[in-house]
Amino acid sequence: MTIRKRTNEPGSFLATHGDSIVRDAQRELKSPARRLFGQRLLTLGGISLLSGCDLSNDKSVNAALRRISFFNDDVQALLFDPNKLAPTYPESMITRPFPFNAYYDIDDVPEVDAATYRLQVSGLARGKRTWTLDELRVLPQESQITRHICIEGWSAIGHWGGVRFSDFLRRAGADTSAKYVSLRCADNYWTSIDMPTALHAQTLLTLTYDGDVLPPKYGFPMKLRMPTKLGYKNPKHIVAIEITNRYPGGYWENQGYNWFGGS
Amino acid sequence: MLLWIVPHGAPINVIKPGVVLSHNAIQPGWVRITHWINALAVVLMVMSGWQIYDASPIFPAIRFSRSITLGGWLGGALQWHFAVMWLLVGNFVVYLAANLASGRFRRKLLPLGPRQLAVDLRAALRGRLQHADLAHYNALQKLAYLVVIVAIALIVLSGLAVWKSVQFPLLRTLMGGYDNARIVHFVCMSVLVAFFVVHVAMVALVPRSLLLMIRGR
């Protein structure tokens, strides 16, 4: 403290002693010491790198990462252009065989009985609440050859056909000003999407794959296909659709995958 | 100890401007700050990126050990990657803007001619490349720094193309499509890692340069 006080009178202490103090300090820091300092800094950097993986288990770090992921949802909602179409491809570019992918093995694919199957619509919708497969098949059908992009990085081009989801939502009397569409599946998978994506022209309630009835491994009886979203946002074996303003989350999303999952 | 006798608010060089305490920083504060933020961001991005890569390797022969990755699993690594990207990009934009505004790029990295490059390369291979004046870069340094700046710009653009291939069609096309954008992203990462290895080795050979990047002189 006494030293500090003295230096508050500029020119007195430092003016007379400044040079010699600095010279002393510089002598102290001569080459060997500097080198050692440098080496230690490098080592310190190396150690902190090695322990980097421990950061993954820190609760506050995880909470911060989740918050940024929610922030990234908002950024993606802003970036999402409802009129921008995902690229489509010629039939020759379809990936054959199209890869099977789920959170379980192909042997555990659920078998849904077409005769007893009913699609339930709930939440903010005032129209028809229960749909049979035949009722869906008589609606206007569209098809698309688009790229499925998996969160893991790989991609595959597939050929899907079915009902435009915005068309279905309107027929079901859904409140399209609601925030979310929640989707529950026969394999206990669930996910949810934002309304703008639900209404996108390429969002398709698919009933066929490559011209045939959607096979079980690709999501019989129906898969919601969105070329504007990553694979895990494209649920298969859908049995219930809910229109809601309450954030519904999802199977992978609740474990840490980004919710918006846009492409 | 030296710091304690510096009075708050009174710049030390006011007291005795001159030989010993000259404040002519070779690396100004903004260069040092953006350098270290960038170093941290790149390391975190590369480590989390390796974990993401492992979920679906582009080259089956190339995989990264869990001990050198960040995030624990794909979802965790993606959270890191898409959080630190803001730090990397924000810092990089500040770095580029400050360099262009101050003319530092032109001063430090240009001119860079093939002849000087050949001369310096020959000297380096014979182990005779001098590094006495840290304020001036030799041609190999200039090239390395330019390459790494371009690599960061490219890794950001290819990353955007991978992340938002539908929303940025022009970027997707420039990168040669979605799958190719992943390869561009990987190659840029490899360039950054190669630079990192050489860069750290050089710092170990010339420890003064580390002090320079910490305190500016």
State yes or no: pLDDT of A261 exceeds 80: yes
Q: Name residues 175-204 of chain A within 8 A of B (Cβ).
A: none
pLDDT for A15 equals 58
B82 with A72: Cβ contact below 8 A:
yes
**Tens-place pLDDT, residues B80-93:** 999 999 999 999 99
**DSSP string of A58-107, one letter each residue:** -HHHHHHHHHHHHHHHHHHHHH--TTPPPPB--GGG--SSPPP--SS-GG
Residue A25, pLDDT above cutoff 80: no
**How far apart are alpha carbons A218 and A99 in whole angstroms?**
9
Residue B188 lies inside a defined structural domain of this protein = yes
Sort strands A141-149 and A204-209 into parallel, antiparallel or unpaired.
unpaired
With CA atoms as reference, the chain B residue closest to A87 would be B166
Say yes or no: B178 contacts chain A, CB-CB below 8 A.
yes
Q: Is A21 left (phi over 0), alpha (psi -120 to 50) or beta?
A: alpha
User: Between A6 and A259, where is the model more confident?
Assistant: A259
> Is A138 at the interface with chain B, CB within 8 A?
no
Residue B164 belongs to a domain: yes
Q: B21, A86: Cβ pair inside 8 Å?
A: no
pLDDT in tens, A114-140: 999 999 999 999 999 999 999 999 999
Whether B77 is covered by a domain: the verdict is: yes
CA distance B179 to B170: 15
Residue, of A46 and B60, whose pLDDT is higher: B60
- pLDDT of A82 higher than 60: yes
Contact yes or no for B26/B212 (Cβ under 8 A): yes
Position A91 scores a pLDDT of: 98
* Average per-residue pLDDT for chain A: 88
What 3-state DSSP class applies to B143? helix
- In this complex, is the C-beta atom of B61 within 8 Å of any C-beta atom belonging to chain A? no
Question: Which residue out of B3, B4, B5, B36 would a mutagenesis test of the A interface target, given it has the greatest number of A Cβ atoms within 10 Å?
Answer: B5
Q: What is the CATH number of the domain that holds B51?
A: 1.20.950.20
Q: Is the pLDDT at A1 greater than 90, yes or no?
A: no
CA torsion angle A208 A210 A216 A217 (round to 10): -140
Question: Is A66 at the interface with chain B, CB within 8 A?
Answer: yes
Predicted pLDDT of residue B23: 55
B10·A147 Cβ contact <8 A: no
Predicted pLDDT of residue A7? 39
Predicted pLDDT at A3: 40
| ipTM for this model | 0.85
> Which chain A residues have a beta carbon less than 8 Å from that of B80?
56, 65
Report pLDDT digits (tens) over A207-258.
999 999 999 999 999 999 999 999 999 999 999 999 999 999 999 999 999 9
Q: What is the pLDDT of residue A42?
A: 59
Domain residue extents for chain A: 2-57, 60-255
Report the alpha-carbon distance of residue B98 to residue B103 in Å, rounded. 8
Range of the domain at B168: 28-215
Element (H, E) at A241: strand A238-244
Q: Give yes or no for a contact between A204 and A164, defined as CB atoms under 8 angstroms apart.
A: yes
* pLDDT at position A18: 65
DSSP state, residue B7: P
Q: What is the pLDDT of residue A38?
A: 55
- Per residue in A161-188, pLDDT tens? 999 999 999 999 999 999 999 999 999 9
In a domain, B174, yes or no: yes
Q: How far is CA B49 from CA A134, B52, B69, in A?
A: 46, 5, 8
Instruction: Name residues of chain B where pLDDT drops below 50.
Output: 1-22
Residues in chain B with CB shorter than 8 Å from the CB of A149 are 165, 178
pLDDT computed for residue A58 by the predictor? 80
Nearest-CA distance from A215 to chain B in Å?
25
Identify the three-state secondary structure at position B37. helix
What is the average pLDDT across A53-81? Answer: 89
**What pLDDT, on the 0 to 100 scale, is given for residue B5?**
36
Q: Report the number of distinct structural domains present in chain B.
A: 1
Give the pLDDT band of residue A55 (cuts 50, 70, 90).
Answer: low
Distance (Å) of CA A17 to CA A12, B5, B24, B113: 9, 11, 22, 49
Tokens of A113: 């009985």
Say if domain A60-255 classifies as CATH 3.50.50.60.
no
B21 in any annotated domain: no
Would B1 be classed as within a structural domain? Answer: no
